[in-house]
Amino acid sequence: MIQIWAIEGIPEVVSGDDVSTLIVGQVSTSSTRREFEDGDILAITSKIVSKAEGRTILAADREDAITAETVRLVAQRGHTRIVENTLGLVMAAAGVDSSNTPEGTILLLPVDPDASARAICASLREATGLTLGVIITDTLGRPWRNGQMDVAIGAAGVRVLDDLRGTTDAGGRVLDVTVPAVADELASAADLVKGKSAGLPVAVIRGMGHLVGDLDLPGARSIVRASEEDMFRLGSKEAFDEGYRAGIASS
């Protein structure tokens, strides 16, 4: 059975805070505490990691910040830019966000979410003596689907992909391409209890301990498909314009 609950009472995070210390401290002092167990996975909203790492800048610099975080423009409609950012993630506004941050400021994503997850996970394991996993989450839109959902942008001590290729389904047929992105599934499930505006940035997932392992397991970066393998690497308008220019150049 899978259980997911949010850790209540985590204070507002500021630059220099130790996220793992805040989490352990709240679990140990809360009147409604549920102690950690081996195999628990913590889903941590990227915003508190960014705040702790000092990734807050003035809101007036938003457009410049998006440009600085952009590696490749994927599509643009009006002022909305869908880009590949420095982490390899394809996101609106490169992940630069103005929600749940002090007035007049915006947040950049952590510089290296996998490294952040490893540091937090190592500290949690040391503090508790337990084998825990950590997923750092953020919100993405999805091609062909309305709405947004949380995915894993950083991970440590967790198997982020569950490779089922070579196994068989219930009918005995061999699975050739099935590799569930379990870290994304866990991030999305955790968001059901964390929410977007409830002030609950951390959730505990219990019952998926078979995914928890060594700290040096591949992180969430391994989920990102390389752009050269992406069959839909550009927006439709951008792909048409690129093809048109190529045709003109070769004529």
Task: Indicate the number of domains in the chain.
Answer: 1
pLDDT at 33: 59
* 234 assigned to some structural domain: no
pLDDT at 28: 67
What is the CATH classification number for the domain harbouring 137?
A: 3.30.1330.100
* 218 assigned to some structural domain: yes
| pLDDT tens profile 34-50 | 789 999 999 999 999 99
| pLDDT tens profile 70-103 | 999 999 988 889 999 999 999 999 999 888 787 8
Q: How confident is the model at residue 30 (pLDDT cuts 50, 70, 90)?
A: low
* 230 assigned to some structural domain: no
* 128 assigned to some structural domain: yes
Domain that holds residue 8: 3-69+89-224
Q: How many CA atoms lie within 13 A of 205 on its CB side?
A: 26
pLDDT at 203: 95
